[in-house]
Homo-oligomer: A and B are copies of this chain.
């Protein structure tokens, strides 16, 4: 009797991600992740893309984000529930899968709550490297919640940011951020208003969470040469920027059809010109044209950066020997005989391969 075709799904947990970061260091992980994202964006046309499939409810959204390059398929499950923190839950929770396009096997199942925070910051970094003024030293960080440390450290380690100007409507969020960054040489200034935080900043990162059309940033706060890294406006009815902020800027996006629906761009007419970032990264479009221009990355989070982070996590799992198998898909002695799984007398055959039993332990 032939052995079943192996159908191994590797599970990569939050603990595995944390262990990989402890072993390699956060700067290295950010660097490799940014490199992976940049490389994947540079082969943009290899990917079959679609806007994410969103299920909106009163207090939040649940989304599925699939993408494929014809060899590897990935998708992410992710929610966005701004009020979750009131009951002790993260606003954003996620997991995702890499599958083999040739066979459909879901090969790699990973946590993506922590990894989404990593990839969002790495994506912001890739955009800022292409769009912000070289030599940027000061970043305003508006919104000091779960994503803020990741933005702060990615820009500190790899963009040369030396000073952060902080603002949040919740002072405890800022206190938490201060404590978490105390081990770094970053100069941290707590500000009383967005206006105060933004003044003199080279880069302005907005990463607030309210599901509302907020005006965190208004056009009178803008200064020449600024780069705006707009991260929090990422859902219909959840925006951060006054429309005139976009009008005053050269606007760059991940995937135009999705950003028109979800980004701060949703408040602008359909013919308002934007540039997809991949065009800048491949040299097909200009990024920043001079030191006076205001550039804006209207980030909403696109499936491609989840593909990239899943790809990197699988690479790290292999490299560092992390993760473990789970029995998501049954192994069959005869693939046309699914019914065999219900026949107890046949089960010792599956166990005899040495795979069936171990994997059931997951």
A171 CB to closest chain B CB, in angstroms?
12
A104 touches B80 (CB 8 A): yes
A104/B75 in contact, CB under 8 A: no
A14-B327, A338-B113 known; A77 and B89 CB under 8 Å? no
Question: Given A48-B55, A81-B104, list of 10 further CB < 8 A pairs?
Answer: A11-B326, A15-B327, A55-B68, A57-B68, A62-B66, A77-B99, A84-B335, A114-B342, A145-B336, A180-B340
A130 within 8 A of B: no
Q: Given the complex, which residues of B lie within 8 Å of A103, measured CB to CB?
A: 60, 79, 81, 84, 87, 89
Are A64 and B62 in contact, with the CB atoms below 8 A? no
Task: Please measure, in the bound complex, the distance between the C-alpha atom of A327 and the C-alpha atom of B17, giving whole angstroms.
Answer: 12
Q: What is the 8 Å Cβ interface bit string for chain A, positions 317-339, against chain B (1 contact, 0 not)?
A: 00000000011111010111111
How distant is A177 from chain B, measured CB to nearest CB, in Å? 8
Q: Does A284 contact B (CB under 8 A)?
A: no
Q: Once the chains bind, are B104 and A60 in contact (CB under 8 Å)?
A: yes
Which B residues are CB-close (under 8 A) to A342? 18, 21-22, 26, 114
- The residue on B at minimum CB distance from A347 is B18
A13 adjacent to B104 (CB under 8 Å): no
Q: How far is the CA of A186 from the CA of B362 in the complex (A)?
A: 38
A93 close to B (CB within 8 Å): yes
